[in-house]
Amino acid sequence: MLGNRTLETTKAPASARRDERASIDGRARFREAGSNPFDAELFDLSANGFRMFTFSRQAIGKHIWVNLPGLQPVQAVVRRQDGNNYGCEFVNPLHASVADHLKAKLAK
């Protein structure tokens, strides 16, 4: 485990979400353009994005590429930050069946 991730972010109303989030427990690597990859701990996932915990500081609006288990790198944008917790949105949402497969594979 990368560290304590007990901080909670403010949750958007359910009506504001485009897709249902699933609580997961997984690890991923991500990188910025031209940089070495960093480790991240994933703790929720939807077809539109994910939340991760990492010690690597990220700026809101930064584009990153994340390696999800079994997939090629997927581009995402950092949208929210709360300490070392980051909310990211996929540039191109995952297909629903791919998201469902990852949610099942990484379920807590």
- Give the residue extent of every domain in the chain: 21-101
Token digits of residue 106: 């990484």
Q: What would the pLDDT profile of 44-83 be if each residue is shown by its tens digit?
A: 999 999 999 999 899 999 999 999 988 999 999 999 999 9
Model pTM score = 0.79
Q: Which of 43, 81, 84 is nearest to 62 (CA)?
A: 81
For β-strands 38-45 and 85-90, DSSP reports them as unpaired
**CA 97 – CA 68 distance, rounded (Å):** 15
If phi over 0 gives left and psi between -120 and 50 gives alpha, with beta otherwise, what is residue 43?
alpha
Q: What would the pLDDT profile of 29-48 be if each residue is shown by its tens digit?
A: 999 888 889 999 998 999 99
Q: Is the pLDDT of residue 11 over 90?
A: no
CATH dotted code for 21-101: 2.40.10.220
